[in-house]
Structure 1
Amino acid sequence: MKTKNIFLKCSAVFLLIVASCSNEPEIDNATMLDGDQIFDASLYNLENYLVSKAIDNPSTNQKNTPVVIAVHGYSASTFEWDEFRNYSDLNATILISQVLLGGHGRTYESFKNSTWQDWQEPIMTEYNALKTKGYTNINFAGSSTACALMLDLIKTNKIADNGMKHIFLIDPIVIPSDKSLTLIGLVGPMLGYFESTNTTTEDKYYYRFKPQETLKELLNLTNKVRKDLQEGFNLPQNTQLKVYKSTKDDVADAVSAVLLYKGLKNNDGSKIAIQMIDSKLHVVTRLDGRDTITEKDREIQKQVFDNMILMLSQ
């Protein structure tokens, strides 16, 4: 979620923006994900994205091969995990299910009318489909809001004992960097939506316009996960989790990693693994489409991918 000045810091700014914005955005249907043109191929070519759809009758070898359910963040699409799939195709023997969150990848109205429970549902749908087909080595990789959705599934015991072998959380959002998200209930109805600063490429794979209704859902989700972590809970048995968190991130505050470290434990009560990354990017596992990328960014991404692949092989 890449958003510039999405929230307002003072009442004077509120009034200026209210005066200049309508409650409905002007959407370019030909170039924006928000429009009625479908850019996310997972909506019409499921077999290229979901392992459960790609393999009708998995062999014993396929059932034992690591399957990664890779899930994007709020306002994004399956594009967010393309680079991991491409890298894995060249460097690993794993299967990847790129899951599109509910309400995402479709029109602005579909996104606007979705709840965080809707976002979460396709994760469980693919997980259950893989379990039904007999896959024994199911894993999860999530970025940003997908991490919060997975944490809720763990807390509510929907991912039961021995459910997933490895869980990778990339820049999990528990505490937003922009604390004025808490004001969305006040200013959201006045504005209707907030506009992101996307590149031309990002416009096809990330919503430019964020309906205030979905930001309320995001706030509800992160508040729930924060409270769950403050109470504390454990991972399922035989599940290992690792967090990769950028030290400077304009979307997910680094405090999110602290809350995870304090509130989430392995099944035996030991500490989870957290790696702080010297990066200013939110979700360094996705570099394509950004304005400026450095060699350092590419090296960090490679290190994260290599580490994930190594852990999947164990």
Structure 2
Amino acid sequence: MKTIISLVVLVVAGLACSSEPTITKDMLDGGTLFDPSLYNPGKYLVSKATPNPTAEQARKPVIIACHGYSATTFEWDEFRTWANGRTDFQLSQVLLGGHGRSYEDFKKSTWQDWQLAIKDEYEQLVKAGYTNISLLGSSTSGALLLELVSSGYFNNRLVPRNLLLVDPIVIPSDKTLSLIGVVGPMLGYIETEQSAEEDKVYYHFRPQETLQQLQKLLTVVRQDLESGIRIPPACTLKVYKSKKDPTADPVSAVLIDKGTKTADGKPIDVALIDSDLHVYTRLTLRSQVTPKDQQNQTETFADIVGRVVR
């Protein structure tokens, strides 16, 4: 999720704009561009590419990679490119429900809809016989994955080997999200400053309805963390958190660290990354990328795979 602009600007913009945005066909919002996983699911989802795995294929680790709010499968394209044909694991890039389609589809989606796509791929893999599955989530998908654990979704199901969260959001850096329920209906939508190329893979306009859904999800996860979340047996959790995240307040990592324990009560693994980017593993289309950013990305990809294939 990109940074939400300040409340004062939101109110002024809301009073000045119409209730519906002006969308062009060159934007993801327009319903002309769609996420490529919708055209070719077999290229993105292991369950579609190999629905009847051999015994060897079924044992091979699968990573289900899930993107953030308002994003698309694009967010994990660089991970696939970095893997460069590696054969020791398989990658599923999940498109969250309601995402990667038109503004209207996005507008009417709930956070449960977003999460449903993750559940569907997981269940399809388990049904096909895959036995070594890990879940990788960025930003809002981090919250979606934590909610799956806290709600008991994995009770009486195959347990994931690893939960891997990159810049998970629990507390937004911009605290005005908490007021979206008040100002949202007046605004209608939020316009995000981004490049024309980013408009093709991230929503340019964020319906206030979806921001309210995001706030609801984060409230649920915060309450779950306050009550305490236990990771299922034989499952590990690692958090990779940018130190100066403009979207997901770094205190998110603190709350996850304090509120989550392994099945036997031990601390989880949290790595603070020397970065000022949100979802620092996505570098493509950013205006400035430093050698340090590239190093952070490479080291994180290597650590993720190292945990999955060991």
Matched, 1:75 2:70: yes
The number of residue pairs the alignment matches comes to 309
For residue 130 of structure 1, report the CA deviation from its aligned partner.
0.5
For residue 17 of structure 1, report the CA deviation from its aligned partner.
2.1
Structure 1: how far apart are the matches of 2:11 and 2:93? 41
Contact 1:92-1:309 at 8 Å conserved across structures: no
Return the match for 2:287 from 284, 288, 291.
291
Structure 2: how far apart are the matches of 1:96 and 1:228? 29
Unaligned stretches of 5+ residues in structure 1:
none
Matched, 1:151 2:146: yes
Task: Using the TM superposition, name which of 241-250 and 53-62 deviates more.
Answer: 53-62
Report what 2:223 is aligned to: 227
Structure 1: how far apart are the matches of 2:31 and 2:279? 27
- Pairs within 5 Å for 1:1-314: 1-3=1-3, 5=5, 7-9=6-8, 13=9, 16-29=12-25, 31-91=26-86, 93-160=88-155, 162-314=158-310
| Secondary structure at the counterpart of residue 141 of structure 1 | strand
Contact 1:162-1:236 at 8 Å conserved across structures: no
Contact 1:145-1:173 at 8 Å conserved across structures: yes
Structure 1: how far apart are the matches of 2:40 and 2:110? 24
CA separation of 1:236/1:4 partners in 2, compared to 1, >3 Å: closer, same or farther?
closer
TM-score (norm 2): 0.97
Structure 1: how far apart are the matches of 2:80 and 2:230? 29
For residue 89 of structure 1, report the CA deviation from its aligned partner.
2.8
Q: Deviations over 1:28-84 (max 9, x none)?
A: 11x111011133111121111110010132011111111000000000000000011
Structure 2: how far apart are the matches of 1:77 and 1:17? 26
Structure 1: how far apart are the matches of 2:237 and 2:146? 11
Which amino acid letter does the alignment assign opposite residue 7 of structure 2?
L
TM-score (norm 1): 0.95
Which amino acid letter does the alignment assign opposite residue 132 of structure 2?
N
Which amino acid letter does the alignment assign opposite residue 84 of structure 1?
F
CA separation of 1:295/1:218 partners in 2, compared to 1, >3 Å: closer, same or farther?
same
Structure 1: how far apart are the matches of 2:151 and 2:10? 38
Contact 1:78-1:99 at 8 Å conserved across structures: yes
Structure 1: how far apart are the matches of 2:302 and 2:40? 28
Cα root mean square deviation, aligned: 1.3
Which amino acid letter does the alignment assign opposite residue 116 of structure 1?
W
Contact 2:4-2:174 at 8 Å conserved across structures: no
Runs of 4+ in 1 over 4 A off after TM superposition: none
Structure 1: how far apart are the matches of 2:285 and 2:2? 12
Q: Deviations over 1:213-262 (max 9, x none)?
A: 00000000001000000010200110011000001111100110011011
| Secondary structure at the counterpart of residue 214 of structure 1 | helix
For residue 201 of structure 1, report the CA deviation from its aligned partner.
1.8
For residue 138 of structure 1, report the CA deviation from its aligned partner.
0.4
Unaligned stretches of 5+ residues in structure 2:
none
Task: Using the TM superposition, name which of 272-281 and 153-162 deviates more.
Answer: 153-162
Structure 2: how far apart are the matches of 1:261 and 1:162? 24
| Secondary structure at the counterpart of residue 243 of structure 1 | strand
Structure 2: how far apart are the matches of 1:15 and 1:113? 23
| Secondary structure at the counterpart of residue 28 of structure 2 | coil
Q: Deviations over 1:130-175 (max 9, x none)?
A: 0011111000110000010011100111123651001110000001
Task: Using the TM superposition, name which of 157-166 and 147-156 deviates more.
Answer: 157-166
